[in-house]
Amino acid sequence: MQRESEQRAALSPSHTFVVQFYTGVQVEAGRVAGRVEHLVSRQATTFPSLDALLAFIAQILREVHQEGDTAWEEPV
């Protein structure tokens, strides 16, 4: 098991996003919408659903990995 300090060290800034939710979302009901921004690239989009939010994040992370950022490893 990794120590907390080791887990924090494995978190790359290239994997940092800010997610803002619109007023009135109902997360527990699965209704989410808002805006997400990737901090390093400054790419941003609005999202009408959780699926759209996750699709944007997945797209950015694919680009990060294609550019060769190997600083991040999944904590065990």
8 A C-beta contact, residue 70 and residue 61: no
Domain range list for the chain: 17-66
What is the model's pTM?
A: 0.75
Is the pLDDT score of 74 beyond 70?
A: no
Q: Which residue has the tokens 């609005």?
A: 46
Q: What is the overall mean pLDDT for the chain?
A: 85
The model's pLDDT over 17-41, given as tens digits with 9 standing for 90+, comes to 999 999 999 999 989 999 999 999 9
Q: Among the residues of the chain, which ranges form H helices?
A: 4-9, 50-66
